[in-house]
Amino acid sequence: MTTNTEVLMALRDAEHTSVSAIKTYLRCPAQFAHRYVHRTEGSHRAVALVLGIAVHEALAAFHSHLAEGKGDPPVEVLLDVFSGCWRRMLIGNLPVRCDDLGAEQDKGVALLETFHREAPRPAQVLGVEIPFGLPLCDPDTGEVSDRLVVGALDAVVEDEQSRTVIIESKTAARSWPAVQLVHDPQVTLYRMAARALGFAAEPALQFH
């Protein structure tokens, strides 16, 4: 049986674009060119990226545990997954720029403990880390792009009102302002992907 990870890897092996690439281009075309065209090697990795990936992996384990009907996993399960990913992410050719790695790791632990204690539990988890390859069509000419937009939905759940909800988790310093929620392409593309995957015609989207 093919796993979601294998499907996502296959999609990424083909020529594609991503939500991150689109947002990078809109923010700074020069940065886009360095990262996605010239493949310029960076001097370091940001610790925020390492923290985000490790927390993300722990939250995927949390939702997978619920999806399998096992109920709430103990917080220690989340922390073990986080710590394992954190250690793996520190290994590599590019150093992680950070004055105090221990403090950043503690921040991740505190985030997960708060999440486990306070986050609302969905009525049902419909899927975790769900890959998508979304074709884009020019609304004026009808021309279809030769590259899919590839990504994965963190989790798709059903809430107590039986609504289908896409959950996207962020380790950001502050909540997104309302204007960003309205205009950010990630919101649009993730809802398009959920519709294309057959989850719901009008899925809700929550940023945690």
pLDDT in tens, 46-79: 999 999 999 999 999 999 999 999 889 999 999 9
Q: Using an 8 Å Cβ cutoff, are 149 and 16 in contact?
A: yes
For the chain of 208 residues, list the mean pLDDT of each consecutive stretch of 10: 86 92 94 94 90 96 94 95 95 88 96 94 94 91 92 94 92 82 87 92 88
Q: Which residues contact 167 (CB under 8 A, 6 or more apart)?
A: 63, 122, 154, 155, 156, 157, 206, 208
Side-chain half-sphere CA neighbours of 38 within 13 A: 9
Q: What is the DSSP letter of 24?
A: H
Q: What is the DSSP letter of 174?
A: S
Q: What beta strand segments (E) does the chain contain? A: 16-18, 45-46, 96-97, 124-134, 148-158, 164-168, 204-207
CA 89 – CA 95 distance, rounded (Å): 10
Helix (H) or strand (E) holding 7: helix 4-13
- State if pTM tops 0.85: yes
Helix (H) or strand (E) holding 136: none
Count of H-run helices and E-run strands, the chain: 8, 7
pLDDT in tens, 176-198: 888 888 888 888 899 999 999 99
pLDDT at residue number 101? 94
Place of tokens 């403090």: 103
pLDDT at residue number 5? 86
